[in-house]
Homo-oligomer: A and B are copies of this chain.
Amino acid sequence: MAHKSDIEIAREANKKPIQEIGGKLGIPNESLLPYGHDKAKVSAEFIAAQKGRNDGKLILVTAINPTPAGEGKTTTTVGLGDGLNRIGRKAAICIREASLGPCFGMKGGAAGGGYAQVVPMEDMNLHFTGDFHAITSAHNLLSAMIDNHIYWGNAEDIDIRRVTWRRVMDMNDRALREIVCSLGGVANGFPREAGFDITVASEVMAILCLANDLEDLEKRLGDIIVAYRRDRSPVTCRDIKADGAMAVLLKDAMQPNLVQTLENNPAFVHGGPFANIAHGCNSVVATKTALKLADYVVTEAGFGADLGAEKFMDIKCRKAGIAPDAVVIVATVRAMKMNGGVKKEDLGTEDVEAVQRGCANLGRHIENVKSFGVPAVVAINHFVTDTDAEIAAVKDYVASLGSEAVLCKHWAQGSEGITELAERIAEIADSGMAQFSTLYPDDMPLFEKIETIAKRIYRADEVLADKKIRDQLRQWEDAGFGDLPVCMAKTQYSFSTDPNLRGAPTGHSVPVREVRLSAGAGFIVVICGQIMTMPGLPKTPSAEAIRLNDDGLIEGLF
């Protein structure tokens, strides 16, 4: 069925006016702020008025460690949302917004794929409703105000060698990673080392995604630590008096965006923090709003379950006071084979033993998810080359762990191909069998939190950290930040910190290179490996081929 490209399918979508989609969730027209005819923001006033309502069921879609074969996590999130609607349940999906910059490097990420997509695809990969631009502006206003403060007398006595707040741009621009700014003489300030990250790496992005409302947003913005004084004490955004203006710049961006699936079901697409130095989930406001308006909310988390699901549980759920009723772990036969040692070019050949060997990675994720007290179902995202024997091998393996795997054909068939999973997930969610608990309590010492994740989720033997890092963690505990959760930044390709170590490794060590305090977002970032916060463009960037064709359609973006 799906011989067409994603963009061809998306362009053939029979989109309904966004007011009609909002109507399915009971959102009146005046509470929808339209952006064109197929996108809208849900007004803050309407959201505030839903407070007393009961919450629907929350379903998290996560995945095995990503492989070059592709797992289809977003595709499954979209498909499951459509599937639930197909079987008569009132369901909405919640996913992240795409970053603009990377679209000009490699061909852009669609929102889902095949017959399980969210539209309008072009807009979502370009400016969308301007949220990321607002975040860029708010972030850079603070940057400008810091240098302006230094310029006009530096009353806070900021050590210009210790300004930790950088600037951001939603662009892949390696030339901006490390710069010296304020050159050119007295009128331009005091020269110092500085640099840019990509917007999705901004702490403002993480804050927008974790804040409950505008008041909470402004409070968190004020808490951001931007620099240190000559006496090493922290200088906050509030000290620089930028928090109010930043909140004003983010006022509209805080309102979640509503779009639709190819099957005209509601999809909230809002926020998109990095899944390494941040928590990698869509906004709390969108998820909570969806829970008030729909009976089932399907959402996803970044990367594999070791990073994404763990952060979803330990950061987002903990902070937002929400809990998943069921978890779907997406796997593919192809990915199992790659984990079992098969090369990408040989994936088309049946190899049941390789599938069996590769299943260990999946098994570990199932165990981990269950350790949060939440039932997990495996979704086998079907690919045309999968053989019956290979699919059976995955199902048998999952059954041997006391869980179940369901074959899903939503990519090719839309909701029709995923009704079995939808039925099963609805049943589990309705059963109330989930007994969610976070992995560690708030009051556990910070280093122990890191060890808990490393040992219980990554199955490492030890965490390696030098005295400087341990001292830093203790200092933050003394300063009142000990209650914060930790946000692990490591490779997404392995349970370990070695991206080439597939499967389900044990006995490894987790070396902590650096720790960072995101006092506004409310977590401690633990960096285990090289983390790139400003990507570069490839030798032949996709931008070179992006253009408007004679019909006014965008070419080369997908």
Contact = CB atoms under 8 A, between A and B. Distances in A.
Nearest to A175: B147
A170 B148 CA distance: 16
Report whether over half of chain A's contact residues are helix, strand or loop; otherwise say mixed: mixed
Given A34-B34, A547-B248, A100 B175 contact: no
Given A140-B173, A179-B180, A541-B145, A547 B247 contact: yes
Interface in A485-520: none
Interface in A85-107: 100, 104
Contact of A44 (B34, B44, B552): B552
A170 B152 CA distance: 21
A144 interface: yes
Contacts of A241: 543-544
Interface in A175-208: 175-184, 187-189, 193-195
Contact of A548 (B100, B171, B193, B218): B218
A170 to B, nearest CB: 7
B178 A183 contact: yes
Which of under 10, 10 to 19, 20 to 34, or 35 or more describes the interface residues of A?
Answer: 35 or more
Contacts of A35: 33-36
Contacts of A552: 44, 214
A178 B188 contact: yes
A251 B167 CA distance: 27
Nearest to A34: B34
A546 B180 CA distance: 30
B100 A171 contact: no
A373 interface: no
Interface string A149-181: 001110000000000000101111111111111
Contacts of A175: 143-144, 147, 151, 181-182, 188-189, 194
Given A141-B171, A144-B172, A104 B245 contact: yes
A162 to B, nearest CB: 16
Contacts of A151: 174-175, 536
B547 A244 contact: yes
A127 B126 contact: no
Interface in A283-331: none
A163 to B, nearest CB: 10
Contact of A252 (B127, B134, B169, B247): B127
A37 interface: yes
Contact of A137 (B144, B170, B243): B170
Nearest to A249: B126
Given A100-B137, A241-B544, A557-B248, A184 B188 contact: no
26 contacts: A33-B36, A35-B35, A44-B552, A104-B144, A126-B249, A127-B137, A133-B133, A133-B136, A140-B169, A140-B173, A141-B543, A144-B171, A144-B537, A145-B543, A147-B175, A148-B541, A179-B180, A179-B182, A180-B180, A242-B543, A242-B544, A244-B545, A244-B556, A245-B546, A247-B548, A248-B557
Please provide the 6 A-B residue pairs with the shortest distance between their CB atoms, ordered closest to farther.
A244-B547, A178-B184, A133-B133, A147-B175, A144-B173, A245-B543
